[in-house]
């Protein structure tokens, strides 16, 4: 069974509603008929069960009590089997349809959220915590799934069981029927109260479970520290405290259960006994037949006991509604329109860039970039210098339109940047970050990640060679198929960077953004990265966030930034004559060599 594409692609933007129940109803779009049939099937199954007891009544009254047999015996026996078939068949049908609905809705919701989240703007991701987002996309979605798979449909089941069996009881005897449900409001009340408390106690238990896991994990990952300080005993005590607390909370939870079930058992049981007594008296007085008594004994169980579960379902359903709220908050956010824009030349771009008085602010009055103006020709190298927070990163983030500038303009090949669709633009731009993010896939998949299609091995190896990572890859157990991350190899910072370079080489962008840092790199591998970078920069307009003198000296244009402004710009030679910031920076270079000379001379 699969879900029709039209239902799967339903735009969940439409499910927003301030009323959570209406929202959940809208979430059912495309599955409503199925879900309705699923619920009705449960009704039919319940009715079949009730009919079984009525058939039993008929059987006993006609065959045993009156000894008058209007129907042949075999039809009665067949009737039982048929009713069982109906009951089983419809409850199976209901289960199937309900599963199709809940799993279908969940799949659609997961897909939508996944796509939605990856289309949300940079500003959104900046301020939203990763863990929070993941939790909403997983646990909250699962709570919604349970709402449809379990809570909503089972509330329906219990209500229908009650209604159908109650009608049957009314048919048997009205007084008896009403006498049999006296306790039900009390049971419901107790059950709701109990499950409210128990779900709190359960949360406390789960919380302690999480903190026990944290303690364990920190101990395991910090095993060297534990051993180095010989703190085993201390750690054992710490773990014991958490472990004991979990035991205590588990005990509390169990005490609640061990009280609720027998107490509610007793209440339900005594209600039944009262019903039996009245029914038996009626049977003896001839108000009802023995067959009716028999049917009554069978039916009343299905009215009283299921009610206990109603409390659980109601309490859990309310958490499902809270989850809906939390998911909707994500869906409400606007997507970044990737294809908005009217200019996308088929021949690709050349890479001539002009900034004219560009300003950018995240929120109003929080100016991050101010009056940025400069220009560069295709293939030139632009180095950005400045302290953390000076605006270098924000400036390069404007190019792929991760953020849109708020005033001034940027021209790419003479055309306003905002006219290029983001998708097109980003295909033309490559980014190599300081700490590149790799995915837990094979190395091959990480390299071809940038093109999203299969690429011949030869081509992959070519870029890996150019990125000076080919030999490293060959040293891994499964070569290009080696997994990166927990289940495979852990790459060093420099190796990651070179895989990212290979990835970018394969993408072959016209414009390159480079965070030129080797902070986490062994001195030995620096030269290799240097070479890989040179290969990458060839014939591309390159923006370098510079940390090293080499990259500055070769740049065609150097922008020295401070507090969101360009304080100096020009080539290395020009800036040297200007004095100021740049002069100071460059002085370091000469000072380093002088210091080194002096150092070596001093020991000689």
Partner 1 sequence: MSLNNYYEEEDFEQQTRLNRNVLRRIISLARPHWRWVLGFLVLVTASTLFDSYFTYLSKRILDEGIIQQNTPVVIKLLTIYGGLIVIQASCVFGFIYLVGVLGERIRYDLRQQMFIHLQELSLSYYSRTPVGWIMARVTSDTERVAELITWGTLDATWGAMSLITSMIFMLIINWKLALIVFATLPILVYIGIEFRKRILSQFRMVRKLNSKITASFNENITGVRVVKALVRERENMREFSQLTGDMYATAFRAAWLSALFLPVVQLISALAVAIVLYLSGIQVNSGGMSVGGIHAFVSYITFMMWPIQDLARVFAEMQHAIASAERIFSLIDSHPDVADRSGAYDPGSIRGDIEFDHVTFYYDSDPPVLENFNLEVRRGETIALVGPTGGGKTTIVNLLCRFYEPKRGSIRIGGRDYRDFSLHSIQSRIGVVLQTPHLFSGTIRENLRYGRLNATDEEIETAAKLVGAHEFIMRFEKGYDEQVGEGGNLLSVGQKQLISLARAVLAKPEIFVMDEATSSVDTLTEALIQKGIAVLLKDCTSFIIAHRLSTIKRADRILVIENGKIAEMGTHADLLRQRGKYYQLYTRQFRHQMEQTLGAFDELSGMQPLSS
Which residues between 494 and 513 bind partner 1 (CB under 8 A)? 503, 507
Packed helices 523-537 and 457-466: angle between N→C axes, nearest 10 degrees: 120
Paired tokens of 314: 């109601």
Looking at 243, 309, 380, 535, which residue binds partner 1 (CB under 8 A)? 243
Q: By CB under 8 A, is residue 390 in contact with partner 1?
A: yes
Packed helices 32-59 and 73-119: angle between N→C axes, nearest 10 degrees: 160
Q: By CB under 8 A, is residue 600 in contact with partner 1?
A: yes
Q: By CB under 8 A, is residue 442 in contact with partner 1?
A: no
Which positions from 525 through 544 interact with partner 1, judged by CB under 8 A?
526
Biggest CA pair distance of the chain = 126
Q: By CB under 8 A, is residue 234 in contact with partner 1?
A: yes
Q: By CB under 8 A, is residue 581 in contact with partner 1?
A: yes
What CA–CA distances, in Å, run from 331 to 8, 110, 119, 338, 432? 16, 11, 11, 17, 31
Q: How far is the CB of 236 from partner 1 (least distance, A)?
A: 6
Residues in a beta bridge with 355 = 374, 410
Which positions from 404 through 433 interact with partner 1, judged by CB under 8 A?
423, 426-427, 429-431, 433
Q: By CB under 8 A, is residue 27 in contact with partner 1?
A: no
| Cβ contacts of 56 within 8 Å, gap of 6 or more | 291, 294, 295, 298
The H or E element that residue 311 is part of is helix 307-332
Paired tokens of 399: 């190019």
Q: By CB under 8 A, is residue 487 in contact with partner 1?
A: yes
Which positions from 266 through 295 interact with partner 1, judged by CB under 8 A?
266, 269-270, 273, 276-277, 280-281, 283-284, 290-291, 293-294
- For the chain, how far is it from start to end, CA to CA, in angstroms? 82
Q: In what order do the strands lie in the sheet with 353-361?
A: 367-376, 353-361, 407-412, 415-416
Which positions from 451 through 470 interact with partner 1, judged by CB under 8 A?
452
Burial of 511 from C-beta contacts in 10 A (0-12 / 13-18 / 19+):
buried
| Residue number with CB closer to partner 1 (102 or 497) | 102
Q: How far is the CB of 201 from partner 1 (least distance, A)?
A: 13
**Contact stretch for partner 1 (CB under 8 A) within 176-184, 321-329, 369-377, 437-445:** 437-445
Three-class SS state of 88: helix
Q: By CB under 8 A, is residue 25 in contact with partner 1?
A: no
Q: By CB under 8 A, is residue 225 in contact with partner 1?
A: yes
Which positions from 167 through 206 interact with partner 1, judged by CB under 8 A?
none
**Contact stretch for partner 1 (CB under 8 A) within 16-24, 62-70, 176-184, 454-462:** 62-70
Looking at 7, 22, 84, 182, which residue binds partner 1 (CB under 8 A)? 84
Q: By CB under 8 A, is residue 236 in contact with partner 1?
A: yes
Paired tokens of 171: 């048919």
Residues 39 and 263: beta-carbon distance below 8 Å: no
Q: By CB under 8 A, is residue 19 in contact with partner 1?
A: no
Q: By CB under 8 A, is residue 59 in contact with partner 1?
A: yes
Packed helices 307-332 and 184-221: angle between N→C axes, nearest 10 degrees: 50
Q: How far is the CB of 18 from partner 1 (least distance, A)?
A: 27
Q: Which of 23, 313, 31, 20 is nearest to 151 (CA)?
A: 313
DSSP calls for 409-433: EEEETTEEGGGS-HHHHHHHEEEE-
Q: Which of 373, 344, 376, 340 is nearest to 359 (CA)?
A: 373
| Residue number with CB closer to partner 1 (145 or 470) | 145
| Residue number with CB closer to partner 1 (262 or 579) | 262
Q: By CB under 8 A, is residue 224 in contact with partner 1?
A: yes
Which positions from 94 through 133 interact with partner 1, judged by CB under 8 A?
94-96, 98-100, 102-104, 106-107, 110-111, 114-115, 117-119, 122, 125, 130, 133
| Residue number with CB closer to partner 1 (286 or 414) | 286
**Contact stretch for partner 1 (CB under 8 A) within 265-273, 311-319, 368-376, 536-544:** 265-273
Q: Which of 452, 432, 437 is nearest to 502 (CA)?
A: 432
Q: By CB under 8 A, is residue 394 in contact with partner 1?
A: no
């Amino acid at each position: 069974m699969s879900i029709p594409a039209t239902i799967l692609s339903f735009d969940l933007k439409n499910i927003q509603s301030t009323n959570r129940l209406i929202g959940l109803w809208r979430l059912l779009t495309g599955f409503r008929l199925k879900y309705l049939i699923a619920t009705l099937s449960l009704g039919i199954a319940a009715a079949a069960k009730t009919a079984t007891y009525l058939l039993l009544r008929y059987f006993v009254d006609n065959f045993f009590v009156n000894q008058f047999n209007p129907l042949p015996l075999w039809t009665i026996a067949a009737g039982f089997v048929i009713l069982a078939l109906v009951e089983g068949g419809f409850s199976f049908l209901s289960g199937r349809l309900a599963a199709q609905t809940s799993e279908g809705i969940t799949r659609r919701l997961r897909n939508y959220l996944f796509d939605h989240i990856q289309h949300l703007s940079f500003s959104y991701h900046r301020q939203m915590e990763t863990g929070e987002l993941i939790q909403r996309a997983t646990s909250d979605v699962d709570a919604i799934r349970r709402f449809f798979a379990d809570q909503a449909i089972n509330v329906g089941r219990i209500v229908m069981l009650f209604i159908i069996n109650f009608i049957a009881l009314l048919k048997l005897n009205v007084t008896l029927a009403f006498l049999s449900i006296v306790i039900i409001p009390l049971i419901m009340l107790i059950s709701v109260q109990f499950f409210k408390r128990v779900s709190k106690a359960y949360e406390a238990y789960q919380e302690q479970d999480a903190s026990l896991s944290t303690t364990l994990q920190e101990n395991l990952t910090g095993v060297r520290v534990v051993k180095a300080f010989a703190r085993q005993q201390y750690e054992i005590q710490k773990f014991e405290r958490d472990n004991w607390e979990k035991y205590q909370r588990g005990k509390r939870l169990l005490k609640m259960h061990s009280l609720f079930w027998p107490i509610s058992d007793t209440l339900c049981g005594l209600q039944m006994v009262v019903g039996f007594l009245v029914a038996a008296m009626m049977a003896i007085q001839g108000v009802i037949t023995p067959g009716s008594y028999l049917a009554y004994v069978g039916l009343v169980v299905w009215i009283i006991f299921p009610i206990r579960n109603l409390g659980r379902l109601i309490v859990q359903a309310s958490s499902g509604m809270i989850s809906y709220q939390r998911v909707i908050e994500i869906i409400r956010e606007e997507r970044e329109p990737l294809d908005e824009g009217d200019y996308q030349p088929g021949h690709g771009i050349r890479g001539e860039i002009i900034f004219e008085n560009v300003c950018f602010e995240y929120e109003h009055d929080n100016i991050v970039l101010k009056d940025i103006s400069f220009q560069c020709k295709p293939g030139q190298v632009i180095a950005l210098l400045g302290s953390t927070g000076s605006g270098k990163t924000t400036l390069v983030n404007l190019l792929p339109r991760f953020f849109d500038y708020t005033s001034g303009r940027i021209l790419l090949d003479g055309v306003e940047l905002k006219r290029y669709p983001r998708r097109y633009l980003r295909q033309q731009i490559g980014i190599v970050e300081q700490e590149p993010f790799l995915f837990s896939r094979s190395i091959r998949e990480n390299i071809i990640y940038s093109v999203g299609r299969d690429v011949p091995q030869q081509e992959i190896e070519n870029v890996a060679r150019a990125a000076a990572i080919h030999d490293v890859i060959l040293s891994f157990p499964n070569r290009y198929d080696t997994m990166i991350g927990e289940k495979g190899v852990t790459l060093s910072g420099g190796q990651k960077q070179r895989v990212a370079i290979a990835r970018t080489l394969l993408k072959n962008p016209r414009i390159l953004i480079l965070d030129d840092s080797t902070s986490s790199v062994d001195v030995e591998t620096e030269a290799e990265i240097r070479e890989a970078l040179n290969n990458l920069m060839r014939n591309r307009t390159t923006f370098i966030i510079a940390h090293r003198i080499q990259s500055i000296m070769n740049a065609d244009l150097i922008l020295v930034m401070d507090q969101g402004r360009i304080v100096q710009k020009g080539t290395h030679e020009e800036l040297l004559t200007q004095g100021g910031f740049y002069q100071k920076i460059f002085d370091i270079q000469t000072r380093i060599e002088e210091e080194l000379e002096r150092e070596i001379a001093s020991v000689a």
